[in-house]
Structure 1
Amino acid sequence: MALPTRVVLVYRRSEYEELLDRHATFGQAEFFLRSRGRNIDDVLARHEAIENAMHLVSTSLPDDVRQARVERSDLDRYLFAPEDVVVAVGQDGLVANVAKYLAGQPVIGVDPEPGRNAGILVPHSPDHAAAVVASVRRGTAAFEERAMVQATLDDGQTLLALNDLYLGDPGHQSSRYTLAVPQQDPERQSSSGIIVGTGTGATGWSSSIANDRGLVDLLPPAESTQLAWFVREAWPSPATGRRLGFGLLDAGQTLDLTAESELLVAFGDGIERDRLSIAWGQRLTVSRSEHRLTLVTGAT
């Protein structure tokens, strides 16, 4: 007998909660912000918007739906079940944070602050979330599958990301390595690292780099399975070059990096503590992952 649906509410602790952890009381938190020219009212309003959205989603679900909650920092220790429906309440980045821990479970992105967030991955309002969950349970919801990027070390360790991967020095200083990409000769480089982004990530870090280089029109669209890669600030010298600076990876193609620094790292979607460590001489291969994000876009 199949287990009933479980809705897992994913959220991120608000700035207000973090301030209270640091300063203990409302008054001290207010003083801290005021001394820096900020008003606690805005911080509190954002906290209440998230709390109200979480409450509305939770209380609007029917009684036969099991519920669980997980905070962003606990995602790497949380066990998602096959029958789960994931409801991410927060900014677009929260969907990216949870995506790599899933195995096809549908994700409903809920925007608690319309107008403040881009809303690309969180298109649903809190008061509509229950209807979207019901549509998923009936099998009538509309979905988009978004490509993900995977980094694989030569010892078998892997890391997934929805938006982008950073490859380079953990302190974002000079990274030394040999880079190999399709249809090009390998090149030794010293740079500020490499970014490999998906179509979903083309509105994030990749977009910023592409805009500076006049490459925005070459970025893959959101639904694309291509990956875009960028070398940041490669330094030319007698031993290193900058011939390889940008490119696209199609299905089956890889970007290979062989470390020539004592330590390089790979992390995804801005979560630096969840990373791969690349020692001198190790090889890291980056490619499109077989895993995809199943994003719920609509309900009928």
Structure 2
Amino acid sequence: MSLAPRVVLVHRTTEYEELVAHHGTHGQAAFFLSSRGRDIEEVAERHRCTRRALADVTAAIPLAWRQSRVERADLDRFLFAPEDVVVVVGQDGLVANAAKYLAGQPVIGIDTDPGRNPGVLVRHRPTDAAALLPAAHASGTGVDELTMVEAVADDTQRLVALNEIYLGAAGHQTARYRLGLENDGGVVEAQASSGVLVGTGTGATGWLRSVWQERGAALELPHPTEDRLLWFVREAWPSPATGTTLVAGTLSSTARLRLTVESERLIAFGDGMETDALELTWGQSVRVGVCGERLRLVG
């Protein structure tokens, strides 16, 4: 007999919980915020909205189904199963945080604070869960397959992200490396910069878009489901030993950007999670391109 579906609720510690944990009591947290011109009631109300959303989604899970919860900080240690239906309760960024650990499971994004969140990835309200859960498990219809980006190092380390991957020095100081496009006749350039950003169409609503706007929007942004990435070198430094020719471009589904480290240590991290990064040392190389896996987001 096959296992019943399992709903995995992904959430994160609220700002209110972090404040109380740090300051010890509600009163001390309130005093801290008031000294900085903020009212704890606004923070507490967002906390209550999140808790209500989690309770509503939990109540909507069919009785015969299994369920589990995982906090954002524990995602890298949680084992998702093929039959899981993943429900992300929180902000858009939490969907991106979970995406790298999935392998085709349907994802439902639940917005806990409509109007404050953009709602690009958390597209639904808690009251929608009762209808969405059986539909997501039974048919898989109405799912958007969002393109992801991956980085693979020459020692087999691998990193996957939904929005973007950043390669550079820890602390965003000067990174030294050699950069080239594998499908561009082998042209390679030594560079010193603030790092390289490679992003997807989903990432085009965030960090990637800000860099794109600064460059004058010469390249067309990809759509979230399009097998195309954009890449930018941040603040490339011209010198007798380093160039600024290869600073932006597009990667098709088969193209790869190759970076060879010429610093003592560089890192690669995805979707802002610097604590879960690839460690790269002098002489190592890493290839970045479109990932073969997709995030299956329920529309």
Asked if the contact 2:219–2:249 (Cα under 8 Å) also holds between the matched residues in 1, the reply is: no
Contact 2:106/2:137 (<8 A) preserved: no
Are residues 1:175 and 2:175 paired? yes
**What residue number does 1:95 align with?**
95
Deviation at 1:2, TM superposition (A): 1.2
Amino acid at match of 2:63: D
Pairwise mapping of residues 150-161 of structure 1 onto structure 2 (< 5 A)? 150-161=150-161
Identify the residue that residue 120 of structure 2 maps to in structure 1.
Answer: 120
Question: Cα offset for 1:140?
Answer: 5.9
Which structure 2 residues correspond to residues 36-115 of structure 1 after superposition, within 5 A? 36-115=36-115
Aligned residue in 1 for 2:289: 287
Give the match's secondary structure for 2:58.
helix
Q: Give 1:217 deviation, angstroms.
A: 5.7
- Name the counterpart of 1:209: 211
Structure-2 separation of matches of 1:121 and 1:221: 14
Uncovered stretches (5+) of structure 1, i.e. residues with no partner: none
| Distance (whole Å) between structure 1 residues aligned to residue 48 and residue 256 of structure 2 | 45
Question: What is the root-mean-square deviation in Å for CA atoms of aligned residues?
Answer: 1.1
What is the rounded CA distance, in whole Å, between the counterparts of 1:108 and 1:138 in structure 2?
14
Native 8 Å contact 1:132 1:141 kept in 2 = no
**Distance in 1 of aligned mates of 2:174 and 2:117:** 33
Contact 2:106 2:140 in 1 (8 A): no
What secondary structure does 2:179 align onto? Answer: strand
Which runs of no fewer than 5 residues in structure 2 stay unpaired? none
State the Cα deviation string for residues 239-283 of structure 1 (Å, max 9, x = none): 111111110100111000000100000000000010101100100
Write out per-residue CA displacement over residues 112-164 of structure 1, whole angstroms, 9 at most, x where no aligned residue: 11111110111111001121002123316410101111111111110110100
1:13 alignment counterpart: 13
The separation in 1 between residues aligned to 2:58 and 2:138, in whole angstroms, is: 19
Contact kept? 1:202, 1:220, Cα under 8 Å = yes
Q: How does 1:187-266 map to 2 (within 5 A)?
A: 187-215=189-217, 218-266=220-268
Distance in 2 separating the partners of 1:216 and 1:17: 44
Q: How high is the TM-score relative to the length of structure 1?
A: 0.97
Normalising to structure 2: TM-score of the pair?
Answer: 0.97
Residue 265 of structure 1 aligns to a residue whose secondary structure is strand
Supply the distance in 2 between the matched residues of 1:113 and 1:292 (Cα, whole angstroms): 26
User: Which letter maps to 1:13?
Assistant: T
Tell me if the contact between 1:6 and 1:68 (Cα under 8 Å) persists in the aligned partners. Answer: yes
| Structure 2 CA distance for aligned equivalents of residues 223 and 289 of structure 1 | 12
Question: For residues 271 and 22 of structure 2, what CA distance do their matches in structure 1 show?
Answer: 26
Shift of residue 41 of structure 1? 0.9
Paired residue for 2:131? 131
- Distance in 1 (CA, whole Å) between partners of 2:106 and 2:95 is 11
Alignment partners' CA distance in 1, 2:294 and 2:223 = 15
Count of matched residue pairs: 297
**1-structure distance, mates of 2:218, 2:2:** 47
1:275 corresponding residue in structure 2: 277
Amino acid of the structure 1 residue aligned with 2:245: R
Q: Describe the SS at the equivalent of 1:285.
A: strand
Q: Which amino acid aligns with 1:231?
A: V
SS of alignment partner, residue 218 of structure 1:
coil
Letter in 2 for 1:205: W
Given the superposition, is the C-alpha separation of residues 33 and 216 from structure 1 closer, same or farther in structure 2, using an over 3 Å criterion?
farther
Once the 2 structures are TM-superposed, how far is the Cα of residue 216 of structure 1 from its aligned partner? 6.7
